[in-house]
């Protein structure tokens, strides 16, 4: 039903989002094209900050670290999530219980995730840390880069694989039994069943999972901050943390703002991919 | 098809639960005991750490602050999202698809980008260090999500229900509150879950926008270093306490969750 | 292909009150086209799933080609199944779908494709070989599913579970025809489950009529039509089905509503008389009265429905009542009176508690 008065219903949302998003964004864009010396002295500098930001070597290394991290995350969490989804029972009373169990890591405040792994992986008080030390490994995630990365990866896998698993599970339960029956009669192996019956049905769900994990991992801040603080040195400083340190610590508004705008545009691109993929699924239903 | 889980599931759940178990373990022990020896089970378990949290105003106020702004955020998000979702699901109007996409993109915005402007904005209007500030800031993410989820649930209610109510002579508001809302209470449950989940777990904005009076628990936990070092026991206890509300919420909406996931709305 | 033998086969779903199948006995010859005919809930699909192995073993014996199927998993039974809706590999082309069962068997790539092409030609879908199932119509998809089921050279048994449900009537006829010729050519033992008697009667060499978990009668279409052994068979098979009248036998005379109808050498007692519309004729009442042993009884004609003409004479269905019960006859319509008439029967069967009583 076509009715432009429906805008009234949307008005409250627009107001809130304008307040929360539009005004701040405009502020950021504003700062990104000016050089601000103090409250009264501002010079329009055009795209200077952008150029400077893109050439910033610390930004570039943070970006590389981020890309490596996000790639590893996807490579680990997507296959594992699918495997976990396939291991879940499809019917029966226990299904709800398993889903709740899987959902637990998703409900924990992100800083507590960091704290849990701090308590777990520290060589002095942590079960994992102490066990590794006893086994002869010289393990310390605050001192060694490799240790820090491995611990971060283990933590993120622990934190987010359930999301992929739950999404994949939703996709798998939508497959009618007859498809499995037909494949069994054909004599298909388990791998063939996965490849020809399940995977085609999972593509839409997996696209959503990949994009969500990609976007969220690209914005990751709290967990690595709590666990390693970005260290040792810079080795686990990713984009969000670098931006935050620029914006809050150093009061360099211009470059921070330019960085913010670029960062936002990248995520916007990923989001657009997500949206078109979801809309395509919706139309296909 | 299958009703029993594969062994991989057990392995994975062990992986999930062991660090949490360790958290609970440490929460029941004294800090000196923790630093002194490593043991799988607390030799002298006590709730002293929990008592410390409940009695120490720094910790307890942290919890109260967090619960406050999460509740405020959930209420605002619902109030604002319901009419918008209704508009999106029932009507076509100029620019509706673009608006929907733009709303969605806000959910995906990196919080770090908004740090600076939020700080300045909320300071300027005198809302710095209040529950309302954090609640409103979180709306940036929770409102689009709420609109999206609710629209999905509303779209599955057939228009014929609206027609029937109108033919029966009910006013639009009667229809909305007495018929429509109960019909989508699953969707409202899922929305509450996600609003809660996002707002409760977020650190960056909550930290930026609060000072000492509205300090949330997430900040208290990250700044808990005292002169004698970190009290691991109390920290662990605080961690356990932050998990409980989430557990409770998911337990209550678990049936709606599965349906919500199945609709492809995350 | 192989012979199928069911002995005293039963099945109950866990938690269900009554058994779904009880004590089934059936023999299907090698290369036979056999139909399982029955309404929903008769147990046809359950039987099919037991044959394919998708349901685990039950009490009773299941022999295929002399081998007990109880321990054999579905993939090694040499059974193929076509479902009610097309079940295909959505991401593979039609050629890929047809060739897949052969690839799994280990056939060379070239042989697979050749045989798949051959099957596609027979089904007249060779122009669709490169397409994905998502780009095909429902009917064409089902053709692919049928081709995929018949493509294996090592088949013992082909099961079809109401495969034409989705097709429109015009195409149903063509598909039935194609299936029948495919079955003849390949010599496949086929079991075809349906609730549509026309499909069963035109496709099958022999039909088993199923009802409430049991097989009532197995026989050729002619046997089922001319000599039904159960009321339900008479009622279900034939368009329209058999007529039934409540009757009583006394001293070898059948009485309907206390009026003598005909002679029947059957033990005395209550029974039901069944006759097909084709075995009956309504005509005007002649002057002389009938004897009561020649199967003529008074009737009231209600209406006629013309079905067509036969040698210039219109024929069709006549609705009438006899002793208060509605009956239908199928006959030439030239001499049917309106109102008072007489019902003449050529053949009659007597039934007690559903089953035929032999005279």
Domains and CATH numbers, chain A: 58-284 (1.10.3720.10)
A142: confidence class by pLDDT, cuts 50, 70, 90: confident
Q: How far is C89 from chain A (nearest CA, A)?
A: 6
Q: A90 to chain B: which residues are within 8 Å by CB?
A: 1-3
- At residue B19, does pLDDT exceed 90? yes
- At residue C254, does pLDDT exceed 80? yes
Cα separation, C319 vs B262, whole angstroms: 55
Assign C209 to helix, strand or coil: strand
Inter-chain contact A185–C92, Cβ cutoff 8 Å? no
Cα separation, A91 vs A71, whole angstroms: 34
Tell me what pLDDT residue B258 has: 59
Q: A199 to chain C: which residues are within 8 Å by CB?
A: 91
Cα separation, C106 vs A20, whole angstroms: 63
CB neighbour list of residue C243: distance below 8 Å, 6 or more residues apart: C274, C275, C276, C277, C280, C325, C327, C328
Q: What is the DSSP string of B53-74?
A: HHH-HHHHHHHHHHHHHHHHHH
Among C259, B87, B155, B39, smallest CA distance to A7 is for B87
Test the A interface: residue of C45, C74, C135 with most A CBs within 10 Å: C74
Same domain membership, residue B151 and residue B117: yes
Q: Does A57 touch chain B (CB under 8 A)?
A: no
Same domain membership, residue B161 and residue B80: yes
CA distances from A91 to A47, A194, B2, B182 (A): 58, 19, 7, 28
With a CB-CB cutoff of 8 Å, which residues 228-267 of chain A face chain B? 239-240, 243-244, 247-248, 253, 256-257, 260-261, 263-264, 267
First and final C-alpha spacing in chain A: 21
Full domain range(s) for residue B8: 1-46
A1: confidence class by pLDDT, cuts 50, 70, 90: low
- At residue A203, does pLDDT exceed 90? no
Q: How far is A204 from chain C (nearest CA, A)?
A: 13
Q: What is the pLDDT averaged over residues A235-251? A: 79
The domain made up of C4-236 has a fold known as: Rossmann fold (3.40.50)
Q: What is the pLDDT averaged over residues B163-169? A: 80
The DSSP output letter for B254 is: H
Q: Is beta strand C67-68 parallel, antiparallel or unpaired with respect to C61-64?
A: antiparallel
CB neighbour list of residue C267: distance below 8 Å, 6 or more residues apart: C249, C357
- At residue B192, does pLDDT exceed 90? no
- At residue B105, does pLDDT exceed 80? no
From the centroid of its chain, how far is CA A21?
20
Alpha helices per DSSP H over B28-56 = 31-36, 48-55
Q: C132 to chain A: which residues are within 8 Å by CB?
A: none
Q: What is the pLDDT averaged over residues A89-94? A: 76
Is position B54 within any domain? no
C63-88: pLDDT as tens digits: 888 788 777 777 777 888 898 888 99
Q: How far is A235 from chain B (nearest CA, A)?
A: 19
- CB-based contact A53:A259 (threshold 8 Å): yes
- The residue of chain C nearest to residue A189, with distances taken between CA atoms, is C104
Cα separation, B230 vs B227, whole angstroms: 8
Least-confidence region, from A48-62, A131-145, A250-264, B206-220 = A250-264
- At residue A253, does pLDDT exceed 60? yes
Burial of B226 (0-12, 13-18, 19+ CB in 10 A): exposed
What proportion of chain C, given as a percentage, has pLDDT over 70? 97
**Degrees (nearest 5) of the Cα angle A187, A192, A193?**
80
Assign C70 to helix, strand or coil: coil
- At residue C341, does pLDDT exceed 80? yes
Inter-chain contact A186–C76, Cβ cutoff 8 Å? no
Same domain membership, residue B114 and residue B73: yes
Inter-chain contact B105–A109, Cβ cutoff 8 Å? no
Is position B53 within any domain? no
Inter-chain contact A178–C87, Cβ cutoff 8 Å? yes
Q: How far is A107 from chain B (nearest CA, A)?
A: 5
Q: What is the pLDDT averaged over residues B238-266? A: 69
Inter-chain contact A99–B257, Cβ cutoff 8 Å? yes
Tell me what pLDDT residue C63 has: 84
With a CB-CB cutoff of 8 Å, which residues 16-55 of chain A face chain B? 16-17, 19-21, 23-25, 27-28, 31
Q: B255 to chain A: which residues are within 8 Å by CB?
A: 96
Q: Where are the domains of chain C?
A: 4-236, 243-357
Residue C113 vs residue B173, higher pLDDT: C113
A85: confidence class by pLDDT, cuts 50, 70, 90: very high
Tell me what pLDDT residue B69 has: 92
Tell me what pLDDT residue C258 has: 80
Q: How many CB pairs under 8 A join A and C?
A: 50
Is position B97 within any domain? yes
How many C-beta atoms lie closer than 10 Å to residue C283's C-beta? 16
- CB-based contact B27:B240 (threshold 8 Å): yes
Tell me what pLDDT residue B263 has: 47
Tell me what pLDDT residue A167 has: 84
- At residue B264, does pLDDT exceed 70? no
Q: Which chains would you list as touching B if contact means 3+ CB atom pairs under 8 Å?
A: A
The reply to whether ipTM tops 0.85 is: no
Q: What is the pLDDT averaged over residues C45-72? A: 81
Q: How many residues does chain C have?
A: 359
Alpha helices per DSSP H over chain C = 44-52, 94-105, 109-122, 138-150, 169-186, 197-203, 221-226, 231-236
Q: A200 to chain C: which residues are within 8 Å by CB?
A: 89-91
CA distances from A136 to A123, A129, A130, A210 (A): 12, 11, 10, 37
Tell me what pLDDT residue C180 has: 84
Assign B224 to helix, strand or coil: coil
Q: What is the mean pLDDT of chain C?
A: 85
Test the A interface: residue of C93, C98, C100 with most A CBs within 10 Å: C100
- β-bridge partners, C247: C271
C339: confidence class by pLDDT, cuts 50, 70, 90: confident
- CB-based contact B154:B89 (threshold 8 Å): yes
Q: What is the pLDDT averaged over residues C254-272? A: 85
- At residue A103, does pLDDT exceed 80? yes
Cα separation, B183 vs B150, whole angstroms: 12
Q: Do chains C and B touch (3 or more CB pairs under 8 A)?
A: no
Inter-chain contact A184–C74, Cβ cutoff 8 Å? yes
From the centroid of its chain, how far is CA A132?
28
Q: A8 to chain B: which residues are within 8 Å by CB?
A: 83, 87
Same domain membership, residue B166 and residue B34: no
**Degrees (nearest 5) of the Cα angle A17, A21, A25?**
155
Q: What is the pLDDT averaged over residues A7-21? A: 81
What proportion of chain B, given as a percentage, has pLDDT over 70? 91
- The residue of chain C nearest to residue A192, with distances taken between CA atoms, is C104
Q: How far is C275 from chain A (nearest CA, A)?
A: 42
- At residue B11, does pLDDT exceed 90? yes
Q: How far is A234 from chain C (nearest CA, A)?
A: 46
B106-140: pLDDT as tens digits: 777 777 778 878 888 888 888 888 888 899 889 88
- The residue of chain C nearest to residue A188, with distances taken between CA atoms, is C104
Q: Does A271 touch chain B (CB under 8 A)?
A: yes
| Domains held by chain B: number | 2
Cα separation, A250 vs A258, whole angstroms: 15
- CB-based contact A177:A100 (threshold 8 Å): no
Cα separation, C93 vs C134, whole angstroms: 10
Cα separation, B58 vs C99, whole angstroms: 71
- CB-based contact C145:C67 (threshold 8 Å): no
Q: C87 to chain A: which residues are within 8 Å by CB?
A: 178-179, 181-182
Same domain membership, residue B196 and residue B144: yes
- At residue C263, does pLDDT exceed 60? yes
Q: What is the mean pLDDT of chain B?
A: 81
Cα separation, A119 vs A137, whole angstroms: 18
pTM given for the model: 0.77
Least-confidence region, from A177-186, A240-249, B54-63, C263-272 = A240-249
Q: How far is C153 from chain A (nearest CA, A)?
A: 13
- At residue C269, does pLDDT exceed 50? yes
Is position B132 within any domain? yes
A143-182: pLDDT as tens digits: 888 889 999 999 999 999 998 998 888 888 878 888 988 8
Tell me what pLDDT residue B225 has: 62
What proportion of chain B, given as a percentage, has pLDDT over 90? 11
Inter-chain contact A3–B92, Cβ cutoff 8 Å? yes
């Amino acid at each position: 039903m076509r009715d432009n008065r429906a805008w009234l219903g949307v008005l409250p949302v627009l107001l809130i989002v304008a307040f929360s998003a539009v005004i701040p964004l405009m502020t950021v864009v504003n700062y990104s094209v000016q050089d601000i010396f103090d409250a009264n002295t501002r010079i329009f500098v055009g795209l200077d900050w952008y150029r400077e930001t893109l050439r910033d070597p610390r930004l570039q290394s943070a970006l590389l670290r981020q890309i490596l991290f996000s790639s590893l995350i996807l490579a680990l969490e997507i296959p594992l999530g699918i495997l976990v989804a396939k291991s879940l029972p499809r019917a029966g009373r226990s299904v709800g219980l398993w889903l709740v169990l899987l959902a637990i890591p998703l409900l924990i405040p992100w800083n507590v995730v960091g704290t849990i792994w701090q308590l777990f992986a520290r060589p002095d008080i942590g079960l994992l840390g102490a066990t590794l030390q006893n086994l002869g490994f010289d393990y310390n995630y605050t001192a060694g880069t490799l240790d820090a990365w491995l611990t971060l990866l283990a933590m993120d896998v622990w934190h987010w694989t359930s999301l992929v698993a739950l999404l994949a599970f939703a996709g798998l339960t939508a497959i009618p039994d007859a498809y499995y029956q037909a494949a069994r009669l054909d004599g298909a192996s388990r791998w063939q069943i996965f490849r020809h019956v399940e995977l085609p049905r999972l593509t839409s769900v997996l696209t959503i999972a990949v994009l969500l994990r990609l976007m969220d991992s690209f914005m990751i801040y709290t967990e690595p901050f709590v666990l390693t603080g970005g260290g040792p040195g810079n080795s686990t400083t990713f984009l969000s943390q670098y931006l935050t340190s620029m914006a809050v610590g150093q009061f360099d508004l211009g470059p921070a703002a330019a960085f913010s705008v670029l960062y936002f545009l990248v995520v916007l691109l990923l989001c657009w991919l997500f949206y078109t993929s979801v809309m395509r699924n919706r139309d296909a239903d | 098809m299958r009703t029993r889980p594969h062994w991989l599931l057990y392995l994975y759940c062990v992986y999930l639960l062991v660090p949490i178990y360790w958290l609970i373990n440490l929460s029941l022990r004294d800090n000196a005991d923790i630093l002194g020896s490593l043991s799988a089970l607390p030799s002298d378990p006590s709730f002293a750490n929990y008592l410390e949290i409940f009695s120490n105003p720094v910790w307890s106020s942290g919890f109260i602050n967090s619960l406050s702004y999460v509740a405020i955020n959930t209420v605002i998000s619902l109030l604002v999202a319901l009419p918008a979702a209704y508009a999106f699901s029932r009507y076509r109007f100029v620019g509706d698809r673009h608006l929907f996409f733009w709303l969605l993109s806000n959910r995906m915005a990196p919080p770090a980008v908004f740090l600076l402007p939020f700080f300045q904005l909320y300071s300027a209007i005198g809302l710095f260090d209040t529950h309302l500030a954090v609640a409103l800031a979180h709306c940036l993410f929770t409102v689009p999500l709420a609109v999206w989820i609710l629209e999905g649930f509303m779209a599955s209610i057939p228009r014929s229900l609206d027609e029937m109510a109108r033919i029966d002579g009910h006013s639009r508001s009667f229809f909305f509150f007495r018929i429509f809302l109960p019909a989508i209470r699953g969707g409202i449950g899922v929305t509450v879950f996600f609003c809660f989940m996002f707002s409760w777990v977020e650190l960056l904005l909550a930290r930026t926008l609060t000072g000492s009076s509205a300090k949330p628990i997430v900040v208290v936990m990250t700044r808990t270093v005292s002169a004698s070092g970190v009290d691991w026991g109390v920290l662990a206890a605080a961690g356990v306490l932050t998990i409980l509300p989430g557990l409770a919420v998911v337990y209550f909406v678990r049936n709606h969750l599965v349906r919500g996931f199945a609709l492809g709305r995350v | 292909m192989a012979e199928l033998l069911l002995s005293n086969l039963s099945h109950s779903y866990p938690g269900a009150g009554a058994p779904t199948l009880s004590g089934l006995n059936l023999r299907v010859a090698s290369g036979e086209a056999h139909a399982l005919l029955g309404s929903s809930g008769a147990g046809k699909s359950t039987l099919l799933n037991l044959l394919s192995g998708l349901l685990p073993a039950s009490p009773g014996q299941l022999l295929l080609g002399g081998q007990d199927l109880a321990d054999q998993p579905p993939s090694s039974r040499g059974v193929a199944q076509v479902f009610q809706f097309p079940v295909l590999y959505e991401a593979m082309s039609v050629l890929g779908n047809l060739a897949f069962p052969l690839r799994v068997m280990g056939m060379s790539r070239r042989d697979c494709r050749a045989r798949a092409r051959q099957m596609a030609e027979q089904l007249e879908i060779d122009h669709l070989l490169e397409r994905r199932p998502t780009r095909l119509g429902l009917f064409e998809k089902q053709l692919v599913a049928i081709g995929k089921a018949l493509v294996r050279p090592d088949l013992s048994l082909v099961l079809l579970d109401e495969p034409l449900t989705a097709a429109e009537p015009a195409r149903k006829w063509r598909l039935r025809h194609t299936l029948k010729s495919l079955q003849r050519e390949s010599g496949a033992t086929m079991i075809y489950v349906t609730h549509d008697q026309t499909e069963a009667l035109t496709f099958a060499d022999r039909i088993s009529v199923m009802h409430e978990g049991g097989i009532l009668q197995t026989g050729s279409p002619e046997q089922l039509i001319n000599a039904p052994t159960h009321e339900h068979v008479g009622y279900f098979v034939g368009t329209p089905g058999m007529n039934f009248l409540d009757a009583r036998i006394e001293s070898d005379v059948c009485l309907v509503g206390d009026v003598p109808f005909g002679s029947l050498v059957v033990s005395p007692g209550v029974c039901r008389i069944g006759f097909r519309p084709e075995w009956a004729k309504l005509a005007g009442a002649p002057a002389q009265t009938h004897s009561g042993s020649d199967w003529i009884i008074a009737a009231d004609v209600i209406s006629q429905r013309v079905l067509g003409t036969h040698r210039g004479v219109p024929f069709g269905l006549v609705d009438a009542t006899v002793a208060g019960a509605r009956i239908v006859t199928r006959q030439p319509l030239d001499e049917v009176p309106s109102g008072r008439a007489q019902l003449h029967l050529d053949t009659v069967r007597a039934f007690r508690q559903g089953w035929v009583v032999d005279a």
